[in-house]
């Protein structure tokens, strides 16, 4: 069976009744008797291409280079089980009760240690105080809340080209107009950002924020070079544009190399997002935002209206893990594991991919971004790849306008090295077939 490729994001009409119109345009195929009731903004809520792939890509015979699931094999499950039991014994009902919308105080303090591990010291984080932190339900909920706080329908958000699919999902859900800004091997291109800002100024408009993933970018894999960082921050400040710095992969540099955060360069104009998903356990759904005080207070209000508070239990599990385990060593072992997998992928790409393909060479994180020869459409090719038992994420999911069909994201985080090699070999066979046509 070959799956039908999912529809590109944002191809539905906007405006009043757009959701119903979208359903009607699809021949009323959802059969949802409530379709005429949904708010106009739901037209932007389409299934992400990546999520739609999950079912097929997780079949055992398929090598999935599509998902971005962290590999949890190194987690010390036995000692974690002991700590979780100990947590209930020690905290009793307190671990199971409502808590502060800002997050559990002890965890907010420990987040300072995590950030200092990446930055080298607390002062290098851009100044840290537990009061500046809002604990969130993964950084995804921080993205949702920030968009809710800042974006009215039609407002502009600047984002790298391409950009993290989950962020694009939040922006679409609040009807933002996303303007993509070019990247190269050194990350976001300052001249392209300047041009986008100048164009907006000529239109008499101003972006609400720049959304950027400066370290080991999802989906491209590259990092913003150290010398570009002050330039990007300064451009945004000059044009009155807030920066949202999303940093879930910063601790996963293969050589342990880290970069100064954008926040450390301009703490009053940057909202920083961190996450325990990639350095501990994604299923606990614990992340955090560090924000200037006004924005922090609004985030707390947004959290109250969304969930009352982040779950106390999962926060305390993270807190206890940080207190009782050598988490720095675990992060180092994650780096090793991902480096080995990345090396396997890069070596296989070199050996197998046909002439005319290019790809990035990440020094951390989870992803390689590949560009295929002209004439190949990675979205159209996907069903044939699945038939050949390999899955990837087409570049189209990472652009608000559904462009990017000559690109694909290849994840090396989950399968073991020999499966990665086999997956790339299968992918190369599919590409060879496309180029013969």
Shortest gap between Cβ of 431 and ligand PMP (angstroms)? 26
Q: Which helix (H) or strand (E) holds 242?
A: strand 242-246
Answer for the pair 236, 200: CB distance below 8 angstroms, yes or no: no
- Tell me: does residue 411 bind ligand PMP (CB under 6 A): no
Residues 6+ apart with CB under 8 A from 20: 35, 36, 38
Residue 273's DSSP bridge partners are 246, 289
β-pairing, 209-212 vs 133-136, is unpaired
Q: What is the spatial distance between Cα 403 and Cα 394, in angstroms, rounded to a whole number?
A: 10
User: Which residue is it, tokens 């008499």?
Assistant: 204
Q: For residue 433, how many other CB atoms are within 10 A of its CB?
A: 13
Between 244 and 427, whose beta carbon lies closer to ligand PMP? 244
Q: Which residue is listed with tokens 């539905």?
A: 12
Q: Which one of 164, 272, 280, 392 is in contact with ligand PMP (CB under 6 A)?
A: 164
Site string for ligand PMP, 277-296 (x = CB under 6 A): x----x----x---------
The Cα–Cα gap between 213 and 272 comes to 10
CB of 286 to ligand PMP, least distance (A): 8
Cβ 283 to ligand PMP shortest distance, Å: 9
With binding defined as CB under 6 A, does residue 402 bind ligand PMP?
no
Binding window for ligand PMP (CB under 6 A); candidates: 78-86, 138-146, 153-161, 226-234: 138-146
CA distance 368 to 310: 33
| CA 25 from centroid of its chain's CA atoms | 31
The one segment of 109-117, 133-141, 175-183, 294-302 that binds ligand PMP by CB under 6 A = 133-141
Site membership for ligand PMP, residue 246 (CB under 6 A): yes
Site stretch for ligand PMP (CB under 6 A), options 114-122, 135-143, 319-327, 411-419: 135-143
Instruction: Looking at residues 302 to 321 of the shown chain, list those that interact with ligand PMP (rule: CB under 6 A).
Output: none
- Nearer to ligand PMP among residue 35 and residue 319 (C-beta): 319
Count the neighbouring beta carbons within 10 Å of the beta carbon of residue 287: 25
Using N-to-C axis directions, what is the helix angle for 417-436 and 327-352, rounded to 10°? Answer: 30
By CB under 6 A, is residue 362 in contact with ligand PMP?
Answer: no
Rounded CA-CA distance 191/210 in Å is 14
CB-nearer residue toward ligand PMP: 164 or 259: 164
- 70 versus 423: smaller Cβ distance to ligand PMP: 70
Work out the widest C-alpha separation in the chain, in whole angstroms.
66
275 near 118, Cβ under 8 Å? no
x-marked contacts with ligand PMP along 29-68 as a string, rule CB under 6 A:
---------------------------------------x
Q: Which of 35, 64, 140, 315 binds ligand PMP (CB under 6 A)?
A: 140
CA distances from 183 to 161, 186, 189, 202 (A): 6, 7, 5, 23
Task: Based on the shown chain and the rule CB under 6 A, indicate whether residue 218 belongs to the binding site for ligand PMP.
Answer: yes
Instruction: Give least dist CB 164 to ligand PMP, A.
Output: 4
Q: How far is the CB of 327 from ligand PMP (least distance, A)?
A: 16
Residues lying near ligand PMP in the complex (CB under 6 A): 68, 138-140, 164, 166, 213, 218, 246, 248, 275, 277, 282, 287
């Amino acid at each position: 069976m070959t799956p039908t490729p999912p529809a590109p994001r944002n191809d539905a009409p906007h405006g009043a009744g757009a959701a119903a119109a979208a359903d009607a345009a699809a021949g009323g195929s959802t059969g949802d008797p409530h379709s005429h009731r949904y708010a106009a903004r739901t037209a932007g809520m389409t299934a992400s291409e990546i999520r739609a792939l999950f079912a097929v890509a997780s079949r055992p015979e398929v090598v999935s280079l599509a998902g971005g699931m962290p590999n949890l094999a190194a987690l010390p499950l036995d000692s974690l089980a002991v700590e979780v039991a100990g947590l209930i014994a020690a905290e009793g009902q307190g671990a199971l009760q409502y808590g502060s919308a800002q997050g559990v105080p002890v965890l907010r303090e420990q987040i300072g240690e995590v950030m200092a591990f990446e930055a080298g010291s607390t002062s290098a984080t851009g100044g840290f105080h537990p009061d500046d932190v809002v604990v969130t339900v993964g950084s995804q909920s921080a993205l949702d809340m920030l968009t809710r706080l800042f974006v009215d329908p039609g407002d502009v958000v600047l984002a790298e080209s391409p950009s993290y699919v989950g962020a694009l999902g939040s922006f679409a859900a609040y009807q933002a107009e996303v303007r993509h800004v070019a990247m190269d091997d050194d990350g976001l291109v300052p001249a392209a950002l300047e041009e986008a800002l100048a164009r907006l100024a000529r239109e008499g408009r101003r972006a609400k924020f720049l959304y950027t993933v400066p370290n080991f970018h999802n989906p491209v894999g590259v990092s913003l070079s150290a010398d570009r960082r002050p330039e990007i921050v300064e451009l945004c400040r000059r044009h009155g544009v807030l920066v949202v710095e999303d940093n879930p992969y910063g601790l996963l540099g293969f050589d342990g190399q880290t970069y100064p955060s954008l926040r450390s360069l301009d703490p009053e104009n940057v909202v920083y997002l961190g996450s325990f998903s990639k350095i501990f356990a994604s299923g606990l759904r614990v992340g955090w935002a560090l924000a200037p005080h006004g924005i922090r207070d609004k985030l707390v209000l947004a959290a109250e209206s969304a969930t009352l508070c982040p779950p106390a239990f999962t926060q305390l599990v993270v807190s206890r893990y940080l207190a009782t385990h050598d988490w720095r060593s675990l992060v180092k072992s994650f780096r090793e594991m991902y480096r080995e997998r990345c090396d396997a992928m890069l070596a296989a790409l070199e050996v197998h991919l046909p002439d005319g393909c290019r790809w990035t060479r990440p020094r951390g994180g989870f992803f390689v971004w590949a560009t295929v020869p002209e004439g190949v459409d990675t979205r159209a090719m996907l069903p044939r790849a699945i038939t050949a038992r390999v899955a990837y994420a087409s570049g189209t999911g990472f652009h608000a306008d559904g462009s990017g069909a000559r690109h694909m994201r290849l994840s090396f985080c989950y399968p073991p090295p020999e499966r990665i090699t086999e997956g790339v070999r299968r992918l190369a066979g599919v590409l060879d077939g496309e180029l013969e046509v």
